[in-house]
Structures are given as C-alpha cells and as structure tokens.
Structure 1
Amino acid sequence: MSEASENPQLLQPSVLDPCCGSRMMWFDRQNPNVIFGDQRHEVITVTDRSHGKADGTRTLRIEPDVMLDFRDLPFPDGAFKLVAFDPPHLERAGPKSWLAAKYGKLSDNWREDLRLGFAECFRVLEPHGVLVFKWNETHVKLKEVLALTPEQPLFGQVSGRGGLTHWLVFMKPGRTQEAK
C-alpha cells in the first residue's frame, strides 16, 4: 500500500471550484477532494427578517481555501479531473446588493474575463477531464457566453425559477492517436 493511500491527506484534490463563493451548490462544503477558490474572502451580514432568525439577519460566508483569479489559475496544466465553473453572472446590481454579494457581479470587461476563465479551466483539466458549467441568464444569455469558448458542451439541463439557470457538461478533448 502506498503512503498516499494510507494517508488521505497526502492525496492531491482532483476537483477545482475556482469561483466557489459561499459554496451554495455543494452538498459537502468541506469536501477534501475539492480546492475551493475565489477572489474574495469576506463575511457579509444583512438585515433580512424573511428567514425567521431572531436577530433579523442573514449571513453569507465566502471563505475559499485559496485566493485566486479564475482568469489566471495558479495550477499546472492537467492538474484536475473535474472543474466546477460557476462564474459571476450579474451585469447590473447595486453596491450593497445581496444578490451581487451572493452570486458575484461581472466586470465591464466580462466577455474577456469569461473567455480567459474558460481557457484556464480547460487548461487545468487533464485530458478527458470534465468541466461542469453553471450559468444564470437573467442578464446575459447563455448563447453569448458559449460563444466565448471553442469547446462545445456534451449535454445540459435547465433549472431554477423561470428556467434561467443552465447546467452544462463539457469534456476536455483527449490526446489524439498522432500525439501518442
């Protein structure tokens, strides 16, 4: 038995979430197989009496394992088997917007940001690695976003209120016979 199989802490995480935010989509928000990354680290508390808390507040915790920029990932080529890419999707939101805090806000240069983000996510995937992409098209249509990557999704699913959230699955091309 190898040292890594005897000690799970020595195993390299095989999943990357480069825009983890508050880890909303994760069943296990402390999954040791995942590197949770984000460009911000903050705890935000807002008044919100709708959630029944006695003090009338709601708290959002953005606490990544690694501070990073999804446009320039600090990992080697082919480092991950799976990347979960859920970048900011709001174009318009106020400076104190709960939705902007929760989901992130696109920069004025969002097309280039997402183009670079896709390229980086595919770069850090191993051959035949899987990219799960989540996008809400409230402000920007999915068609505009997909035009920013040459890769094509294998399949997807629409969800959410109003059918505006899209989950897409991509697979990084593998090595060709000639490259072997």
Structure 2
Amino acid sequence: MFWFDKSHEDAIYMDNRELSTTLCDGRTLEVKPDVLGDFRDMPFDDDSFYLVVFDPPHLLKAGEESWLAKKYGILSVDWKVDIKRGFEECMRVLKPNGTLIFKWNEDQIKTSEIIKVIGQRPLFGNRRAKTHWMVFMK
C-alpha cells in the first residue's frame, strides 16, 4: 500500500497472492506482484539485493473476507515462527552491508514483541500512529 510505483524498474514486488477486488468503500484493490512467492522461502539467491522492504501481514484477527484481510493479509497461528523465518529470509537475500526496511503496524501485536521474535534491534526507525518503519543492516 505504500508503493509510489510498484512497477518501478528498480523494484521487484513479491506477494503470496494475486487479487483484484472492489472494497466496501468502492475503491479498487489490486494485488499483482512481479513474483508470486512466500516470504519465508524466497525464490532468490543469497546476497541478491542491496535493499529489501519487509511488510508482512500484521493482523491476527480479521474476517477472511473482510477488507482488512484482503488489503493486509492475516497472520497464521504460527506467526512468531513465520515472522522470524521471514526476517531471516530477508537477511539471506540481502548483500553484505545491505539494508532491510521492516514495516510493522502494532494494531494487534506490539512492535516490542516483534523485535523480541526476530531477535535483533533496529538501527533506527520511525513511528507514525500505529505503523513503525524500522531499519536494519546485514
């Protein structure tokens, strides 16, 4: 949702789903990734990117057909394992000294709990309402 241009020549947009729908307020939601894949097992070689943006689902509870679920996705019951594996995958595909931007919304799970799960503290970050942007380096 934060992309200015998902088709920018320097970006590869990955998601685990494709979706085209109209939300309850009439807006169109289109999820059309360049790569259909799982953030816990990315189809990229080690040390592939200088920059990775990790924006995993952040909701534990939302109706399967709700606009929230469609827009943001829903975490599994094994969310702690999933988030840790996803973070580790992001680090794996980063080149040495690469940068990881991690976006988290703490509507249902606090950012402090996520930092415990991933086991690393960010270098710095930004908080805007409930959304946190955190920066890590490999």
TM-score (norm. length: structure 2): 0.96
3-state DSSP of counterpart to 2:113: helix
Q: How does 1:17-32 map to 2 (within 5 A)?
A: 24-32=1-9
Distance 2:136 2:23 in 1: 36
Distance 2:24 2:54 in 1: 30
Distance 1:170 1:61 in 2: 29
Is residue 33 from structure 1 mapped to residue 33 from structure 2 by the alignment? no
Distance 1:47 1:152 in 2: 38
Q: CA deviation at 1:46?
A: 3.0
Q: 113, 128, 133: which is aligned to 2:102?
A: 133
Q: Which residue of 2 aligns with 1:150?
A: 119
Q: Which residue of 2 aligns with 1:3?
A: none
Contact 2:14 2:36 in 1 (8 A): yes
Q: Hey, which bits of structure 1, 4+ residues long, moved more than 6 A? A: none
Tell me how many residue pairs correspond in the alignment: 138
Q: Which residue of 2 aligns with 1:51?
A: none
Contact 2:24 2:67 in 1 (8 A): no
2:69 aligned partner, one-letter code = A
Bigger shift: residues 96-105 or 142-151: 142-151
Contact 2:54 2:101 in 1 (8 A): yes
Distance 1:92 1:115 in 2: 20
Is residue 104 from structure 1 mapped to residue 73 from structure 2 by the alignment? yes
Distance 2:24 2:15 in 1: 25
**Structure 2 unmatched runs, 5+:** none
| Residues 26, 76 of structure 1: alpha-carbon distance in 2 compared, 3 angstrom cutoff | same
Identity of aligned residues (%): 52
**Structure 1 unmatched runs, 5+:** 1-23, 49-56, 173-180
- RMSD, aligned CA: 1.0
Distance 1:88 1:39 in 2: 11
Q: CA deviation at 1:116?
A: 0.3
Bigger radius of gyration, 1 or 2? 1
Distance 1:124 1:47 in 2: 37
Q: CA deviation at 1:118?
A: 0.4
Distance 2:135 2:19 in 1: 30
Is residue 88 from structure 1 mapped to residue 46 from structure 2 by the alignment? no
Q: How does 1:157-168 map to 2 (within 5 A)?
A: 157-159=126-128, 163-168=129-134
Q: Which residue of 1 aligns with 2:35?
A: 66
Determine which structure has greater relative contact order: mean sequence separation of CA pairs < 8 Å that are 6+ residues apart, divided by chain length.
2
